[in-house]
């Protein structure tokens, strides 16, 4: 009996995640990492619901391939989130993957007078509260479908913070721990976390060195996803985590000093 249980669980865990024939909702699909995830999963023959605020870019995405459906939604607005959830419940009950990628970062400190409470609220809502709300609202749909997964995008800054963007670092640490706890709660729906280093996107325009391309990130992620590796440390984040394990003080010193 116990052996059966262990074997069934082992079998469930070693079944590869399917990279095709999924229906995937991607937030922040209009730019950077989200755009690359959208194009890649589309090429792999999945149906995509691309979410963002920029109408022109959403229209472009929908024209790019008929497997992409776009939906305009500001994830920080409760009424717009409600509309998105109602749309999924009515039209896309077969949704089996949710990718929470939308994010913003203010490259500022609390001493900067232009870093207003409104900006702080927006940053927390976009990066932390909205993904949690969306997961909570769509969990029953995901549970009802097979090969289902939630993918949250955090950051290397969730592991070791930098001096600037303290609120951003806190939101990413929040989504990191949330993802881990949620993984313990859910059995049927797999919970993945992409932990990127510096990536060359609009978010990092004009700052930082040694950035990787969104394509490289998605290459690494899709391999990990297929093989059920839930916490996906991308590129330099692997090294950061090793340094942090050996000497948290050295990791802190490295990251504190970075100016991007």
Catalytic residue numbers? Answer: 168
Stretch that binds ligand NAP, among 3-11, 16-24, 41-49, 68-76 (CB under 6 A): 68-76
Residue 160 binds to ligand NAP (criterion: CB under 6 A): no
Tell which one of 46, 47, 70, 76 touches ligand NAP (CB under 6 A): 76
- 103 is a contact residue toward ligand NAP (CB under 6 A): yes
Our finding on whether 28 is near ligand NAP (CB under 6 A) is yes
Taking the complex as a whole, the smallest distance from the CB of residue 170 to ligand NAP amounts, in Å, to: 12
Dihedral sign from CA coordinates of 204, 206, 212, 217: positive
**31 interacts with ligand NAP by CB under 6 A:** yes
Interface residue with ligand NAP, options 37, 42, 68, 102 (CB under 6 A): 102
Could you tell me the smallest distance in angstroms from the CB atom of residue 187 to ligand NAP?
26
Strands (E) in 28-82, as ranges, are: 47-52, 68-72
Nearest residue (CB) to ligand NAP, 148 versus 201: 201
Site track 179-198 with ligand NAP (rule: CB under 6 A), x = hit: -----------------x-x
What minimum distance in Å lies between the beta carbon of 131 and ligand NAP?
Answer: 9
Q: Is 131 in the site for ligand NAP (CB under 6 A)?
A: no
User: Which listed residue (16, 21, 54, 259) binds ligand NAP by CB under 6 A?
Assistant: 54
Helix (H, G, I), strand (E, B) or coil at 173: helix
Query: What is the C-alpha separation between 84 and 82, in angstroms, rounded?
Result: 5
Complex with ligand NAP: residue 33 or 42, whichever CB lies closer: 33
Residue with tokens 């669980």: 9
* Residue 147 within binding range of ligand NAP, rule CB under 6 A: no
């Amino acid at each position: 009996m116990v052996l059966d249980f262990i074997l069934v669980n082992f079998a469930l865990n070693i079944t590869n995640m399917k990279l095709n024939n999924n229906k995937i909702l991607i937030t922040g699909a209009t730019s950077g990492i989200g755009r690359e995830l959208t194009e890649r999963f589309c090429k792999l023959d999945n149906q995509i619901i691309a979410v963002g605020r920029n109408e022109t870019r959403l229209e472009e995405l929908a024209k790019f391939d008929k497997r992409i459906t776009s939906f305009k939604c500001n994830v920080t607005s409760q009424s717009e989130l409600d509309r998105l959830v109602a749309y999924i419940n009515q039209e896309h009950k077969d949704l089996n993957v949710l990718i929470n990628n939308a994010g913003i970062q203010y490259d500022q400190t609390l001493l900067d007078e232009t870093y207003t409470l409104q900006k702080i609220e927006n940053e927390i809502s976009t990066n932390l509260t909205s993904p949690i709300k969306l997961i909570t609202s769509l969990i029953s749909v995901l549970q009802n479908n097979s090969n289902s997964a939630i993918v949250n995008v955090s950051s290397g800054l969730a592991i070791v913070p930098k001096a600037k963007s303290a609120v951003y670092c806190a939101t990413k640490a929040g989504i990191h721990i949330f993802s881990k706890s949620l993984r313990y709660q859910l059995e049927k729906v797999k919970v993945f976390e992409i932990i990127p280093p510096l990536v060359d996107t609009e978010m990092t325009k004009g700052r930082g060195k040694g950035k990787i391309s969104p394509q490289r990130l998605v290459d690494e992620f899709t391999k990990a996803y297929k093989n059920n590796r839930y916490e996906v440390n991308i590129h330099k984040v692997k090294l950061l985590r090793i340094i942090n394990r050996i000497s948290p003080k050295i990791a802190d010193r490295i990251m504190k000093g970075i100016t991007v």
